Amino acid sequence: MTIPNDIVITPQLVADHGLKPDEYQKILDLIGREPTYTELGIFSAMWNEHCSYKSSKKWLKTLPTSGPRVIQGPGENAGVVDIGDGQAIVFKMESHNHPSFIEPYQGAGTGMGGILRDVFTMGARPVAAMNALRFGSPDHEKTRHLVSGVVAGIGGYGNAFGVPTVGGEVEFDERYNGNILVNAFAAGLADTDKIFYSKAEGVGLPVVYLGAKTGRDGVGGATMASAEFGDDIEEKRPTVQVGDPFTEKRLLEACLELMATGAVIAIQDMGAAGLTCSAVEMGAKGDLGIELDLDKVPVRETQMTAYEMMLSESQERMLMVLHPEKEAVARAVFEKWELDFATVGKTTDDLRFRVLFQGDEVANLPIKELGDEAPEYDRPWTPAAPAAPLAAGDVPQMDVADALLRLMGSHQVSSRRWVYEQYDTLIQGNSMQRPGGDAGVIRVDGHPSKGLAFTSDVNPRYCEADPFEGGKQAVAEAWRNLTATGAEPLAATDNLNFGNPERPEIMSQLVHAIKGIGEACKALDFPIVSGNVSLYNETNGRGILPTPTIGGVGLLPDWTQMARIGFADENQAILLIGGPAERGTHLGQSIYLRDLFGRRDGSAPHVDLAAERKAGDFVRGLIRSGVVTACHDLSDGGLGVGLAEMAIASGIGATVTAVVGHDPILTFFGEDQGRYLLTVNLDPQGDAIKALWDEARDKGIACAWIGTTGGTELVLGDSRPVPVKDLTSAHEGWFPSYMDGAAA
């Protein structure tokens, strides 16, 4: 069945396209007539939340996005950061939440595909990937199915494409029961003088379509992703795209080969809203019009309408503007890789977006207003209402050893080996730290010593209790994880996942989280260079936990000096850097409260950004001086969990003192911020360690010798010694037994 282009536009049809009445009025005012059916589809694709950032743009503009190393900030396919020696790291994180809930394997796989394309579109060869996954409660009926499908989908795509997964996150919380989060990160290496952009230049130049053919899959995907879920979710399955990593891998090689010929003027991948979005972006950015002839578009199905072609989200496709004299060279490259190559249009000087189909002009719209001048909202938001602190002395008690064992075997802390062993973590031969540590590290291929560190972080519990502090904490934790390997944090990408922004209390979460992110990025000189906003993460009116995921990238001048989390040897001094003198004080929003007592109360821990920076710079200096033998930042579960993770990673135990007169629950499970655990190969009685303490004291940084490595047990203060092997079996046990259907 074909739908004619001149059907009557009813209010219902407008609503079905996710456009509000006032937005439709804006369209009428803009073009001075009723839009055609295809035009309505184009507006719906360009003006939805996913593509236009209409609710978040005002606030995103407040983020720090520049710095001495930043070559390209937000607004392109990915951010670009200088790493010296004429090279740059190109990276971004992007969500594929709604598709992954509807069809987990294809949804997550095409999420990987999309983010990889964003990176190689800029001329970079992908060298590392991560993914931050958030699922519903383990005992929810859909959770196992979603975990299994999402992980297999990411692996199925990324493994075939050939990029190592170096890190990521997996979390469970009932607030994601009806709306999981799949945030995919990719980074690639490029030469700084060979970065490619989407801005078209020159009139009358060929617009070329490359890659896979266009089908009906994913029609309306970006509009679907910009709506809440209801009970009709199963009906949305056809809006999910189907991925083909084999084509993506060929597209990567063909694009890089083509870029090397000098034929490419501008390039844009076809992601959300496919042909529409890529063509409009290239034209609008270059202040040019674009004319497309849909009869030239390679299609895989017959009888496709203009509407379907313009809104298809078929994967593995690119649009380029090429130097006309190099068209033959370009065609030869694509023929070698057996990919489609078709000249489908040209750039014009009239600032119109014109679409021709079977001899008719089916769309003729002003390109700037469609693209970079799309609507923008200043949505109302409620004042911040952070959760109240716990009452003084409110410290629910449990045996410290029992609590530690339960936390290590909990869904929150347990090992993610079941997940990351389904990802190729060592392809390309440059993985220096694979998943399981604070950050993933790769060496820069071809350079004798340089390495890059990658991490993904956010604590949605903190963000729910206090979006501002939570936003700060997400940035600080990413910065801390990079620092814990010895890397200099360079820049970050943000993937902001929130509920319906039309509700003032949700908009408040978004606004305050962005403010917190901005403040932390400024204080830590850690600019945001790319990102993605995913709103309407709600099912039947209930929002997810606010989840602004931060992907951080750091630079190691010499990867042979990087720190790892496992204890390196016996009889080494364990130092706690940063935080209060009592070591741990803050139990609000901790996993100790949530997972052992079912409590979600208390304030989020405060992040002192000045202290954060001082402690981090001190730790990085120590790592680079060569005295540090292991390093781990403290996060979920505090000091106790941090020590246990260091013991498990090495099989070596430790004995750690209690703080006299202080509640051991607070000492070992408080989640105070800005703290690192180090081991050093220095004599605890010697001069070198004294000098280290003096330096810390002079700088105003807490630095306490809290214990010594050794033996086969972990001893926390006066509590019962816990064999490391028991910690290990608890830690390794939860995930496989859960997926086998045993635990929940």
Question: Judged by CB under 8 A, does residue 250 bind another protein?
Answer: yes
* 500 phi/psi in degrees, rounded to 5: -80, 115
Give min distance, CB of 41 to another protein, in A: 31
Q: Which of 96, 98, 411, 586 is catalytic?
A: 96
> Alpha-carbon distance 310 to 669, whole Å?
54
Catalytic annotation present for 606 = no
**Shorter beta-carbon distance to another protein: residue 432 or 511:** 432
Do residues 721 and 713 touch, judged by C-beta distance below 8 A? yes
Do residues 552 and 489 touch, judged by C-beta distance below 8 A? yes
Give min distance, CB of 132 to another protein, in A: 19
Do residues 127 and 430 touch, judged by C-beta distance below 8 A? yes
From 183-191, 360-368, 419-427, 473-481, span contacting another protein (CB under 8 A): 419-427
Q: Which residues have CB under 8 Å from 309's CB, separation 6+?
A: 214, 275, 294, 297, 299, 357
- Please spell the DSSP secondary structure of 471-483, one letter per residue: HHHHHHHHHHHHH
Question: Judged by CB under 8 A, does residue 331 bind another protein?
Answer: no
**Shorter beta-carbon distance to another protein: residue 162 or 710:** 162
Instruction: Pick one of 74, 107, 155, 286: the residue that binds another protein (CB under 8 A).
Output: 155
β-partners of residue 431 are: 442
Question: If we measure between CA atoms, which residue out of 43, 35, 55 comes closest to residue 18?
Answer: 43
- Please spell the DSSP secondary structure of 263-315, one letter per residue: -EEEEEE--TTHHHHHHHHHHHHTT-EEEEEGGGS-BSSTT--HHHHHH---S
Question: If we measure between CA atoms, which residue out of 291, 305, 306, 402 comes closest to residue 353?
Answer: 291
From 157-165, 209-217, 481-489, 577-585, span contacting another protein (CB under 8 A): 157-165
Instruction: Pick one of 411, 443, 472, 613: the residue that binds another protein (CB under 8 A).
Output: 443
Instruction: Pick one of 30, 160, 387, 398: the residue that binds another protein (CB under 8 A).
Output: 160
From 51-59, 239-247, 518-526, 575-583, span contacting another protein (CB under 8 A): 239-247
Give min distance, CB of 732 to another protein, in A: 13
**Residues 423 to 442: which contact another protein by CB under 8 A?**
423-430, 432
Instruction: Pick one of 29, 141, 232, 338: the residue that binds another protein (CB under 8 A).
Output: 338
**Shorter beta-carbon distance to another protein: residue 226 or 433:** 433
> Alpha-carbon distance 442 to 630, whole Å?
18
Token pair in block for residue 158: 């990324």
Give min distance, CB of 431 to another protein, in A: 8
Q: Which of 17, 50, 512, 731 is catalytic?
A: 50
Residues in the chain: 744
State the DSSP code for 587.
-
From 115-123, 336-344, 532-540, 704-712, span contacting another protein (CB under 8 A): 336-344
Do residues 439 and 485 touch, judged by C-beta distance below 8 A? yes
From 243-251, 276-284, 291-299, 399-407, span contacting another protein (CB under 8 A): 243-251
Alpha helix ranges (H) inside 421-552: 460-465, 467-483, 504-523
> Alpha-carbon distance 448 to 433, whole Å?
17
Give min distance, CB of 4 to another protein, in A: 38
Catalytic annotation present for 662 = no
Give min distance, CB of 250 to another protein, in A: 5
Instruction: Pick one of 152, 342, 627, 743: the residue that binds another protein (CB under 8 A).
Output: 152
Question: Judged by CB under 8 A, does residue 244 bind another protein?
Answer: yes
Question: Judged by CB under 8 A, does residue 558 bind another protein?
Answer: no
Instruction: Pick one of 245, 289, 440, 578: the residue that binds another protein (CB under 8 A).
Output: 245
**Shorter beta-carbon distance to another protein: residue 161 or 196:** 161
Do residues 337 and 253 touch, judged by C-beta distance below 8 A? yes
Question: Judged by CB under 8 A, does residue 249 bind another protein?
Answer: yes
Give min distance, CB of 607 to another protein, in A: 35
**Shorter beta-carbon distance to another protein: residue 114 or 220:** 114
What SS3 string covers 345-367? EEEECCCEEEEEECCEEEEEEEH
Residue positions annotated with a catalytic role? 50, 96
Instruction: Give me the residues that bind another protein (CB under 8 A), please.
Output: 152, 155-156, 159-162, 244-247, 249-250, 336-338, 420-430, 432, 443, 559
